[in-house]
A and B are shown apart, each in its own frame.
Chain A
Amino acid sequence: MSSDGMGLGRNPAGRGTPDYLQTHPRSDSLADVLERVLDKGIVIVGDIQIRLLDIELLTIKIRLMVASVDKAREMGINWWESDEYITQLEDADDKSELGELTRRLEALEGRMHESPQVESNRADREEEARGRS
């Protein structure tokens, strides 16, 4: 059960799987996995180890980092450098996602300075998070 379906490439031979269909999970792109495990799922704040605010802060930093061109280059992804059309698209994306992330990061860092007693606000923050969704 566990091994069946694992480790398949994008178009596993002999199964007649069409091109568009990607079965799980080895072929998942890093972006797909990070997007989910860092930004989705639920947060249950534990005893002490990493506070809710820190988690969010960390998540955003990671997302900024992953989305940054320098890091992509380090990971050996650099095909866009000679592609003007893509560069323009990136500029547009910068304004949306990265801009939004940067704003959230700044806001969170601001809040962190304001309220060192974050833990006592945990219940409120959880309410707030629930209200948002």
Chain B
Amino acid sequence: MDETIVHAYGVIAADEPLTQFPPGIADTTVWVYGAGSLAAIVSLLPVEGFGVADWERNAANVGWLERVARQHHEVLQYATMTAAAVPLRLPSVYGSLESLADTLHAVSDRLEGDLRRIGGKVEWAVKVYRTGEGQSSAVGHAATSGHDYLLARSRDLSARSSAREQLREQVREIHDALGQVSAEYVRNQPQDAVLSGRREQMLLNGAYLVSRADQARFLELAGEIADDSSTRGLSVEVSGPWPAYNFTADAEAATPEAIT
């Protein structure tokens, strides 16, 4: 191969017996590169096409980005099925395997800490959407005078605000209930309606680090919550298991409140 650059997908303990990965970015061969007690899941990308300039140029190219992001994710997803893998954020490129090894060595304490944190656990995602009545307003229908209008408007506003408060509370309860079955849990910024591709407003975008042994319990609870919520105008979606993207030292939880 011509000149190459190292791409690292994630970090695992050196003794994890992982082989036969799915294809990496640009359909490259993925393998485990050991560096002391740690190992990186890596593949070699052609410099031409994946150099710094390419990343910058393609940041605005959704097609390119999607392929790269999905292949990065697939590799981590595969590793997560049997091992604890600390996901690395895209782009994660190094000039050579030696420099990657040096880098891992330099932050090995932190990586080992992350590995201990996520060992034996996987991430589940739960989203809650509002499917119930939208914001229909009574204003304007019955008002025959300015005074009536203002009165109706003020009632409408206070009804809306208490409904919002209730909704907020329900979502918080769901999140906390799921959190009780999790080792850790975080609430992320709800996805924009355009981004999520859903008409309904997303109220909760939660991530839960669940012990493999507790997964059945977690899913059972999520199922109960989903059934229960459908009668309350909420729709619950569960996805996973994900690599533990949300539970490493660098992952930041965004603002908690979705309902404005």
Residues of A within 8 A of B (CB): 1-2, 18, 20-25, 28-50, 54-55, 58-59, 61-62, 65-67, 69, 71-72, 74-75, 77, 79-80, 83, 85-86, 89-90, 92-93, 96-98, 126, 129-130, 132-133
Which residue of chain A lies nearest to B205 when distances are taken between CB atoms in the complex?
A35
Interface contact B242-A24, CB-CB below 8 Å: yes
Interface: B89 (CB within 8 A)? yes
State the CA gap A38–B252 with chains docked (Å): 12
Q: Which of B164-204 contact A (CB under 8 A)?
A: 188-189, 191-197, 199, 201
Q: Do A18 and B223 contact each other (CB < 8 Å), given the known contacts A49-B95, A86-B193? A: yes
CB A85 to nearest CB in B, in angstroms, measures: 5
Q: Do A25 and B193 contact each other (CB < 8 Å), given the known contacts A40-B248, A55-B91, A89-B201? A: no
Partner of A33, one of B22, B70, B95, B96: B70
Interface contact A36-B219, CB-CB below 8 Å: no
Interface contact A49-B94, CB-CB below 8 Å: yes
* B 1-33 to A, binary, CB cutoff 8 A, 1 in contact else 0: 000010010100000000010100000000000
State the CA gap A86–B235 with chains docked (Å): 17
Interface contact A133-B251, CB-CB below 8 Å: yes
CB A24 to nearest CB in B, in angstroms, measures: 6
Interface contact A46-B94, CB-CB below 8 Å: yes
Interface contact B90-A38, CB-CB below 8 Å: yes
CB A11 to nearest CB in B, in angstroms, measures: 12
CB A41 to nearest CB in B, in angstroms, measures: 4
Most chain A CB atoms below 10 A, which of B107, B195, B240:
B195
State the CA gap A30–B198 with chains docked (Å): 13
Interface contact B77-A24, CB-CB below 8 Å: yes
Interface size class of B (residues with CB under 8 A): 35 or more
Interface: B245 (CB within 8 A)? yes
A–B complex contacts, Cβ < 8 Å, 6 sampled: A22-B237, A25-B77, A50-B91, A62-B60, A75-B62, A86-B199
Q: Which of B70-119 contact A (CB under 8 A)?
A: 70, 72-74, 77-78, 81-82, 86-96, 99-100, 102-104, 107, 110-111, 114
Interface contact A37-B73, CB-CB below 8 Å: yes
- Find chain A residues with CB under 8 A from B69 CB: 30, 33-34, 37-38
Interface contact A46-B251, CB-CB below 8 Å: no
State the CA gap A98–B222 with chains docked (Å): 31
A-B contact number at CB 8 A:
198
Partner of B194, one of A25, A50, A62, A72: A72
Q: Do A133 and B100 contact each other (CB < 8 Å), given the known contacts A40-B245, A58-B91? A: no
- Find chain A residues with CB under 8 A from B250 CB: 40-43, 129, 133
State the CA gap A130–B244 with chains docked (Å): 18
Partner of B88, one of A43, A92, A96, A130: A43
- Find chain A residues with CB under 8 A from B237 CB: 20, 22
CB B239 to nearest CB in A, in angstroms, measures: 4
Interface contact B72-A47, CB-CB below 8 Å: no
CB B76 to nearest CB in A, in angstroms, measures: 8
Given A1-B82, A48-B95, A97-B189: 15 more A-B contacts, CB < 8 Å: A2-B20, A18-B223, A20-B223, A20-B236, A22-B238, A29-B197, A32-B125, A44-B92, A46-B100, A62-B59, A65-B62, A89-B193, A90-B192, A93-B192, A133-B252
Which residue of chain B lies nearest to A48 when distances are taken between CB atoms in the complex?
B95
Interface contact A37-B195, CB-CB below 8 Å: no
* B 139-156 to A, binary, CB cutoff 8 A, 1 in contact else 0: 000000000000000000
State the CA gap A33–B226 with chains docked (Å): 23
